Amino acid sequence: MSRIDDLPPLRDVITTHDLRARKALGQNFLLDLNLTSRIARIAGDLSNTDVIEVGPGPGGLTRGLLAEGARRVLAIEKDHRCMPALAQIAGAYPGRLTVIEGDALEIDPLAHLTPPIAICANLPYNVGTELLIRWLTPKEWPPFWSTLTLMFQKEVAERITAQPGSKAYGRLAILAQWRTDARIALSLPPEAFTPPPKVSSAVVHLTALPEPRFPADPKILERIVAKAFNQRRKMLRAALKGTAPDLEDRLLAAGIQPTERAEQVSIEQFCALARMFEQG
Ligand code: SAM
């Protein structure tokens, strides 16, 4: 293994600190530092950027981010056992790594950071999806972060980046692509992780757009999209029944045939439809 820093190899770190992976914490570690550097590079030039890393574990990705030049890394980790390994990394990069022990779902890291801010994480998938939805639905746009570089189960990555007309297209694709550029940057087989998970993974890179791609009230858009995809096999005139007495006129005015199904409707059309509901 090539050395990206003067720290011990991750396998030794895991043995020294007895960091056997715990299933309950969704621990599937990345031990190849070439790979973690590669993931850090997907996040882009970080030399002027503070990075929030969620779930650093033994610190493979943390080391990648620091070696690739991140200005600062703020890492939030729930597992107390990882603290000595992370402290060792902080010692090797003086003043550049801060570790917070706690639950990323409960911690607001913003007080510690200076924009621009990037978020990078290899998280358990359930926590990752919940955080992604939070990061995509802030009170104001643009959000506090400029990019997200996140590892997901491949199937979730495909749902985030899906295009209309595909099975994977739905709420998550619309939520993500309405206000970001989202792409799958890297696919990884289960063997890239220790222990290997059951399914393949992918790194998704999302860049926040300065403003939404098409105007719409976020709450109205979310409500319509949720209802439309709740019964994704039904025609929209049925799936959206009860939302307005003149529903079919509103659909047509938004450029949507009432007989179309949600998965055929573009983000632009959903936004046009949301605007039809803005006056009540
Ligand atoms: N980033 C490391 C890597 O790539 O090798 C570890 C990845 S492992 C998939 C997920 C990490 O997230 C674990 O270290 C786990 O303890 C941590 N974690 C799980 N739930 C968390 C939460 N709610 N808040 C913060 N960290 C969490």
Evaluate if residue 8 carries a pLDDT over 60: yes
Q: Which of 183, 208, 233 is the last residue of a domain?
A: 208
User: Which of 178, 184, 195, 162 has its CA nearest to residue 22?
Assistant: 195
* Averaged pLDDT for residues 88-110: 95
* Averaged pLDDT for residues 237-250: 96
Domain co-membership, 99 together with 157 = yes
* Averaged pLDDT for residues 48-67: 98
Specify which residues 98 forms β-bridges with.
74
Which ligand 1 atom minimizes the distance to the CA of 36? 4
* Averaged pLDDT for residues 41-54: 98
* Averaged pLDDT for residues 20-24: 93
Distance 60 CA to ligand 1 centre (A): 11
pTM (global) more than 0.80: yes
* Averaged pLDDT for residues 164-189: 98
CATH of the domain at 148: 3.40.50.150
* Averaged pLDDT for residues 4-22: 94
Residue 67, SS3? helix
Evaluate if residue 2 carries a pLDDT over 70: no
pLDDT at 125: 83
pLDDT at 108: 87
* Averaged pLDDT for residues 197-217: 98
Q: Letter for the amino acid at 115?
A: P
Q: Which two tokens stand for residue 234?
A: 């039904």
Q: Which of 167, 183, 208 is the last residue of a domain?
A: 208
Q: Which domain holds residue 32?
A: 10-208
Specify which residues 72 forms β-bridges with.
50
Q: Which two tokens stand for residue 64?
A: 């990648």
Q: Which two tokens stand for residue 191?
A: 């063997």
Q: Is residue 6 marked as binding? A: no
Residues in contact with ligand 1 (CB, 6 Å cut-off)? 25-30, 54-57, 60-61, 76-79, 82, 103-105, 122-124, 127
Q: Is residue 5 marked as binding? A: no
Helix-helix angle 218-230:267-276, to 10 degrees:
110
Domain co-membership, 126 together with 250 = no
Distance 54 CA to ligand 1 centre (A): 7
**Largest alpha-carbon pair distance within the chain?**
68
Question: What mean pLDDT, rounded, does the chain reach?
Answer: 96
* Averaged pLDDT for residues 243-255: 97
Q: In what order do the strands lie in the sheet with 201-208?
A: 97-101, 72-77, 50-54, 117-122, 147-153, 201-208, 180-188
Number of structural domains (the chain) is 2
86: Cβ contacts below 8 Å, ≥ 6 apart: 56, 59, 62, 75, 77, 97, 99
Helix-helix angle 125-136:171-179, to 10 degrees:
50
Domain co-membership, 268 together with 162 = no
How many whole angstroms separate alpha carbon 159 and alpha carbon 168?
A: 5
Q: Is residue 48 marked as binding? A: no
Distance 85 CA to ligand 1 centre (A): 14
Distance 14 CA to ligand 1 centre (A): 14
Distance 42 CA to ligand 1 centre (A): 19
Q: Is residue 230 marked as binding? A: no
pLDDT at 112: 79
Q: Could you count the other beta carbons within 10 Å of the beta carbon of residue 39?
A: 25
pLDDT at 1: 44
Q: Is residue 122 marked as binding? A: yes
* Averaged pLDDT for residues 61-79: 97
* Averaged pLDDT for residues 127-143: 95
CATH of the domain at 223: 1.10.8.100
Pocket test for ligand 1, best of 19, 20, 27, 100 (most atoms within 8 A of CB): 27
Whose C-alpha lies nearest to ligand 1, atom 6? 57
Domain co-membership, 253 together with 126 = no
How many percent of the chain have pLDDT more than 90? 94
1 domain-assigned: no
Residue 39, SS3? helix
Domain co-membership, 67 together with 34 = yes
Evaluate if residue 110 carries a pLDDT over 90: no
263 domain-assigned: yes
